[in-house]
Amino acid sequence: MTRSVLVFNLVVTVFLTACGASESAETTPCAAVLGQWSWFTQGVVTFNADGTVVHEPGNEGSWQCDDADRVAVSVHWQQGGFVNRLALSEDGHTLSSTDPSQAYVRGSRGAAATAAVPAGSPPTSTPSTGPLVLATRTVNGQILAMDLPELMVQATLAARTWREDAVPVSLEYQYLDPPNPALKGPSVRLAFLSLSDGTGQFITVTPKGSSVFTFNQPVTWGSLSLPGVFIDLPVAARIAIEHGAQRPMSGANLRVWSPPGAPPVLAWMLGGKTLEGRTGEIIDFDVTGYVALYNEQWERAARGLRALLRAGRGGGASGGPSFYSGGDVPDSTAPYDDGSADHVEHERNAAEARAYWGTTTEEYNRIKSGECSWSASSSGYC
């Protein structure tokens, strides 16, 4: 084969390859979404032609074209397992959610698609100059706040004008009905924590506007930041009502809890129900840890009471008053000893009490001075 033929074949191959690539790009359904988008949670989301999507920083997943004519797509994220359904605007510059419960999800094209922002860093964009105003929606006859994920993003930008490392750690909704009609209505209070100095700030938002209260001292609101994406309050309320939540709902709160022996969990609490904040799944265990702590305290008190009652079964040896005089004590042939420090302490106190009330002063003094141990006294050897 001559050199000219080889060159001709090479040119033809390159030409056909280029044409094929061009044709493939042009025929890719919803190809207009390919490329980088500045995302509502900050950072950049990249739609790739192979059907993958990457959010810098923090997540990845896949996308598919749902309607080529409307350029409507759905995005499936690996972390969190949530799905976003979006459509391209006519000017091709905005991707907006088509799901009413995710109205806050959007991306913008062009100069706004800047470099990714590392997690936890201050925003590089300018905070919105518009006022923070609470949007509402009526669900089963009750007024509820809505678009809360978007509101939290806007409030975080505002809080970072106070502290660049401010993070949202809780969100609380209330419907107030005080005698003063001027104060009546829904409100949302977002609590922010400065990671550097531990101080805090409240931003309260109502349909009429917002107010700020800053604490110039360390606060104990928790340190785990709320994520940028969670199910909106009207959706959480609908799920809770379907599972028997109390109505009307006077309030709701969202925060990240760290239950003992379990990983942190994002949870909505409303109407006596607890929901997983990203999926809406009903949670049937105590994420706060309060119940376990309450039971532990009662069990500790019960152990002390059992030790006290067993110590009092001996009564007064010299006609003195009995250490226990509230009725019959259930008998037990098995000695009570759970090996705990509480048991040791109560047995010591019981021995001293028996010696004080039922023995001579000399024996009591021997116990107090250590000549006769409290365990020997409990066994009747002193």
CB 186 within 8 A of CB 159: no
Most trustworthy range by pLDDT among 114-118, 259-263, 308-312: 259-263
Tens of pLDDT, residues 109-166: 854 443 333 333 333 333 344 588 999 988 778 889 998 988 998 999 999 999 999 9
State the pTM of this model.
0.50
Residue 304, pLDDT score: 67
Per-residue model confidence (pLDDT) at position 52: 93
Q: Write out the E strands in the chain.
A: 35-39, 44-47, 52-56, 59-67, 72-77, 83-88, 94-97, 106-108, 135-139, 142-146, 166-176, 185-194, 199-206, 209-218, 251-257, 265-270, 273-276
Compute the C-alpha angle 75/228/242, nearest 5°.
75
**Which of the residue ranges 156-165, 307-316, 327-336 would you say has the lowest mean pLDDT?**
327-336
- Give pLDDT, residue 368: 62
**Of 61, 36, 192, 50, residue with least CA distance to 116:** 36
Give tens-digit pLDDT for 80-92. Answer: 677 889 999 988 8
Q: Look over the chain and give the mean of its residue pLDDT values, rounded to a whole number.
A: 75
195, 165 contact by CB (below 8 A): yes
pLDDT of residue 324: 40
In tens, the pLDDT along 339-350 reads 667 667 777 666
At 25-53, the pLDDT tens digits run 456 789 999 999 988 766 789 999 999 99
Among residues 262, 246, 108, 256, the alpha carbon closest in space to that of 191 is found at 256
Average pLDDT over residues 187-215: 93
pLDDT one-digit tens code per residue, 169-187: 999 999 888 777 777 889 9
DSSP tag of 326 = S
Average pLDDT, integer, range 105-109: 84
Residue 210, strand partner residues: 205
Q: What's the Cα-to-Cα distance from 133 to each of 116, 230, 293, rounded to whole Å?
A: 28, 19, 39
Percentage above 70 pLDDT, the chain: 62
CA distance 84 to 97: 7
Alpha carbon distances (Å) from 289 to 180, 260, 286, 346: 37, 6, 6, 28
Per-residue pLDDT at 220? 87
Q: Within 10 Å of residue 298's Cβ, how many Cβ atoms?
A: 10
- Percent helix, strand, coil in the chain (nearest 5)? 30, 30, 40
Q: CA nearest 312: which of 323, 327, 299, 328?
A: 323
Give the per-residue pLDDT at 352.
62
Mean pLDDT across the stretch 271-295?
81
Task: Please say if the pLDDT value at position 334 is more than 70.
Answer: no
Give the pLDDT confidence score for residue 294 in this predicted structure: 61
Do residues 168 and 226 touch, judged by C-beta distance below 8 A? yes
Give the CA count within 13 Å in the CB-facing half-sphere of 379: 6
Q: Are strands 251-257 and 72-77 parallel, antiparallel or unpaired?
A: unpaired
